[in-house]
Structure formats: structure tokens, C-alpha cells
Amino acid sequence: QQPVQSPQAVILREGEDAVINCSSSKALYSVHWYRQKHGEAPVFLMILLKGGEQKGHEKISASFNEKKQQSSLYLTASQLSYSGTYFCGTPDQGAQKLVFGQGTRLTINP
């Protein structure tokens, strides 16, 4: 089952904050976050495995709620380099393969 991301797109000015959500109607085994720039391959950001987990640093971090049905990615004081499409992915029925959300396009303007 494909996780649902929101919002679909965000436009910010440099220095502003953003939150991207990834949710499912069922508990997720884990959540993987990636960023993809146009025409390039996705780049790994982080994995969250446990309910209640928070990971990352002050600029880019993520959380996984207790029920493991939602994860949020936090981008603080955004930089121009943060622009791209962010995907969350989750293992399909515990298998190694990932099912990705539809993506959130983040645009950072000067």
C-alpha cells in the first residue's frame, strides 16, 4: 500500500521552515526518506525504525509517531540546496522492497 505524502508541493523563501508528512492507514515497519533533484537519482536522508523515534540534526530531522503510522520530515532554516522532491518509502509487508509515496516537491527561492 502506497504511503500518502502531504503536501504535494511547497514553495518557500530561503530561511523558512517546512514540514513534510508521510502517513499510512496501517502500521509501517519503517520509513525511509530520500531527496531527488531533477534528472538525478534519489539520495538517502534517513531511516526511522521505531515508534516514537526522532532522528537527524537541527537542520533536517524526522520523527516517527508511536503508532508507526505517520512520519514527518522537518526542514529548518531552508537553504537553496534543499530544493527537490522528497519521497518517503516503506517496506512492503515487511519485505525488503520499498513502496514510495507520490513525492513532495519543495522549491526554495532566494
Partner 1 sequence: GAVVSQHPSRVICKSGTSVKIECRSLDFQATTMFWYRQFPKQSLMLMATSNEGSKATYEQGVEKDKFLINHASLTLSTLTVTSAHPEDSSFYICSALKYSNQPQHFGDGTRLSIL
* Candidates 18-26, 63-71, 76-84, 99-107; binding stretch for partner 1 (CB under 8 A): 99-107
Taking CB under 8 A as the rule, does residue 1 contact partner 1? no
Q: Which of 27, 58, 81, 96 binds partner 1 (CB under 8 A)?
A: 96
* Candidates 17-25, 35-43, 57-65, 68-76; binding stretch for partner 1 (CB under 8 A): 35-43
Closest CB to partner 1 among residues 78, 104: 104
In terms of C-beta distances under 8 Å and separation of at least 24 residues, what long-range contacts does 62-69 make, across chains too? 62/31, 62/33, 64/28, 64/31, 67/27, 68/27, 68/28, 68/29, 69/23, 69/24, 69/25, 69/26, 69/27, 69/28
